[in-house]
Chains A and B, each alone.
Chain A
Amino acid sequence: MSDLIRVVDAEQATRNERKALGFWIYIMTDCVLFATLFATYAVLHGNVFGGPAGKDIFNLPFVLAETLILLTSSFTMGLATIMAAKGNRHQAYTWLAATFILGFSFLMMEISEFGSLIIDGNGPSRSAFLSSFFTLVGTHGLHITVGLLWILVMLWRFYKHGLKKQDLHRLSLLALFWHFLDVIWIFIFTIVYLMGSLS
């Protein structure tokens, strides 16, 4: 019997190792996806076709607030990971919940930004610039949504099962994903919003 436990433990360890590498590779393929969307934005951002340009519609303070919220959520995600590793279930749970609230606020702000643009008649079908803007930022938002769902599932697992070893591994992948989205957002903030508002 101990033989079996040893074999299963070893199997689980190697599986986690594979998952970590696989997840890194997935992140890389996602980078290629975003790179394609960034390239598209770079090509099309000038094609306003009589519609507004970036500087006409971007509300920089608003976006800065969005950015700070997302950056903070990355920080709280880091805290959650550390606390979980220490075995502090309550703290891990709290910080993960904080991450969710911050991420959710970010998403709501993005949705409200999109909403007001669409109401003003500057929706994604207005011009090539707006199509590429909505798609790039929206794809990031979609990733955030997936991340939020994932956080919910993790919260539920922690609530129901406590800090199981397998869940700690899952949390590390989730954290990786969340930080990755943060990095992507920094690029979006710089390339789309900052450079768009300046030019």
Chain B
Amino acid sequence: MTRVRVNRSRNIAIAIFLALVTVAIVALFVFLLAGKPIPVLETHGTIADQERTIIIITALLAAIVVVPVFAMLAIFAWRYRAGNSRAKYQPNMSGHRGLELLWWGIPCLIILVLGIITYVSTHNLDPYKQLPLAKGQTPVKVQVVALQWRWLFIYPGTQTASMNDLTIPVNTPIELSITADAPMNSFWIPALAGQVYAMSGMSTKLNLSADSVGTYNGVSSNISGSGFAAMSFKVHVVNSADYKSWVQQGAHSMSMLTYSDYEDIAKPSNDSTPRIYMLMDDNLFNDIINSYTSASPNQNGSMEMGN
């Protein structure tokens, strides 16, 4: 009799210990997270908002399977432990058609729901899809070039280009065309929209729209050489008046950007200082792409990925 009691109090001690460890770990994470930015969840753009919603929905749907799994694991482990002779014991039971049908069936249903969500959301949030425009609104087009290891932003139709500084107007659809004059990179602004690869010799697209004024972080999320970790840039979301005055700055900039100037700044560099240039060559973006696609540059049209 005494032995049983000893075991029981030991089990209780273990349970309390494990509970304390869990609480301590959770407390630690809460403490470490306090006041820190969590851009994937604290979103500031229409695309990232919807992506967050999908993340939450899928997690909840998956929980439908996970919670019973954990519950059963704990309950069965406890109830059918070797020492518990009161529990039923059926050593030759080799299956149960109904139960198995249940766990082939329920996940199938969940996947059906998830599949529909996937179909709809993938088409809705296709990075190539243009965002709806308000009346009289025109989208802002920006061309993005990943360099080693900096980002060049070209504002076609204006005289402005900038390095490591993406300035865009708030509540306006932005159309980004993205390429690389470097190893493959991935263009990611977590608070505004999910990422798209930047690859040489072709252009990918990303449509996004920011819904509040502020400064956000953008990065390359794909390894592209030794300076890759420093390949971050700031995204300044400003109101339309500020945007207009910003975009004028290029015209007054002292540094000009022709193709030959470009070849200079395209050399590998870790200098991440934001700069602004007077864009002299409106065809620069296409020329950069063409330098990879044709034997002699500046001849053929560019190649586009996807739609």
Determine whether A and B are in direct contact in the complex, meaning some CB atoms lie less than 8 angstroms apart: yes
Answer yes or no: B84 CB below 8 A from chain A CBs: no
Say if the beta carbon of B294 comes within 8 Å of chain A. yes
Decide yes or no whether A49 CB sits under 8 A from chain B. yes
Contacts of B71 in A (CB 8 A): none
Which residue of A is nearest B296, CB measured? A50
Cα distance A51–B295 in the bound complex, in angstroms: 8
* Chain B residues in 8 Å Cβ range of A49: 294-295
- Chain A 51-62, CB within 8 Å of chain B: the 1/0 string? 100000000000
Residues from chain B with a CB closer than 8 A to the CB of A50 are 294-296
Of residues 64 to 100 in A, which have CB atoms within 8 Å of B's CB atoms?
none
Residues in chain A near residue B294, CB distance under 8 A: 49-50
Residues of A within 8 A of B295 (CB): 49-51
Complex Cα spacing A49 to B295, Å: 5
Give the dominant DSSP class at B's interface.
loop
How far is B290's CA from A50's CA once the two chains are assembled, in angstroms? 13
How many angstroms from the CA of A75 to the CA of B191 in the assembled complex? 68
Instruction: Give A51 to B296 CA distance when docked, in angstroms.
Output: 11
Shortest Cβ gap from A131 to chain B (Å): 15
Number of interface residues of B (CB under 8 A): 3
Looking at chain A's contact residues, is the secondary structure mostly helix, strand, loop, or mixed?
loop
User: Which of chain B's residues 268-307 have a Cβ closer than 8 Å to chain A?
Assistant: 294-296
Report Cα–Cα, A51/B294, bound state, in Å: 10
In angstroms, how far is the closest chain A Cβ from the Cβ of B121? Answer: 30
Interface flags for A2-43 (1: CB within 8 Å of B; 0: not) read 000000000000000000000000000000000000000000
Which A residues lie within 8 Å of B296 (CB)?
50
Set of chain B residues within 8 Å of A51, measured between Cβ atoms: 295
> Who on chain A is nearest to B295 by CB?
A50
Q: Within the assembled complex, what's the spacing in Å between the Cα atoms of A80 and B296?
A: 55
A103 to chain B, nearest CB (A): 38
Chain A residues 115 to 161 lying within 8 A of chain B, measured CB to CB, are none
Write the nearest CB–CB distance from A105 to chain B, whole angstroms: 36
Complex-state Cα separation, A49 to B294, whole angstroms = 6
- Binary per-residue interface labels of chain B (98-140) against chain A in the complex, 1 for a CB within 8 Å, 0 otherwise: 0000000000000000000000000000000000000000000
CB closest chain-B residue, reference A50: B295
Q: Roughly how many angstroms separate A117 CA and B21 CA in the complex, as a whole number?
A: 71
What residue of chain B has the Cβ atom nearest to residue A47's Cβ? B293
Bound complex: CA A50 to CA B296 (Å): 8
Determine the distance from Cα of A81 to Cα of B294 in the docked complex, in whole angstroms.
52
A129 CB → nearest B CB, Å? 12
A147 vs B295: C-alpha distance when bound (angstroms): 39
Chain B, Cβ-Cβ closest to A51 = B295
> In this complex, what residue of A is CB-closest to B294?
A50
Whole-angstrom distance from the CB of B197 to the nearest CB of chain A? 18
Measured CB to CB, the nearest residue on chain A to B293 is A49
Alpha-carbon gap, A178 to B294, bound state (A): 41
Residue of B nearest to A127 (CB): B295
Bound CA–CA A49/B296 (angstroms): 9
A90 to chain B, nearest CB (A): 58
A50 to B294, CA, bound (A): 7
CA distance A50 to B300 in the complex (A): 11
Distance in angstroms from B67 CB to nearest chain A CB is: 42
A50 vs B295: C-alpha distance in the bound complex, in angstroms? 5
The distance in angstroms between the C-alpha atoms of A142 and B295, with both chains bound, is: 31
Bound-state CA distance A49–B290 (Å) is: 11
Which 6 A-B residue pairs are closest in the complex by CB-CB distance? A50-B295, A49-B295, A50-B294, A50-B296, A49-B294, A51-B295
Tell me the B residues contacting A by CB distance below 8 Å: 294-296
Would you list 6 pairs from A and B whose C-beta atoms are within 8 A, ordered by A residue? A49-B294, A49-B295, A50-B294, A50-B295, A50-B296, A51-B295
